[in-house]
Structure 1
């Protein structure tokens, strides 16, 4: 997964998942990372639509328009 999808809430890494037109915050466990990618060990299901580079104004349960 791209590092640009990760953002910190307190001391844990989180991501936004697109579900039904809304952004849902999910806590993930990152096993390793380099300068570009992160290996997510837990918290992310196969096939989930991750929102990369989320806008700072985006909130949990916020409406998302797919482009």
Structure 2
């Protein structure tokens, strides 16, 4: 699994950080997504996929 984020598309909704806090965080100053790991371990894969699915800006991309 390879994860990328488009910070310029992020609307700082926080759904990713709430859904997969071990994979995503938010910048303190503006809430924009921060990717903590671009290749999470298998046990976090479902959370990462869920986070991408609930992103209102579609700023999270996952490749297998």
The interval holding the TM-score normalised by the smaller chain is under 0.3
Greater relative CO, 1 or 2 (CA 8 Å, sep 6+): 2
* Larger helix share, 1 or 2: 2
- Looking at secondary structure, tell me which structure has more strand per residue: 1
Larger Rg: 1
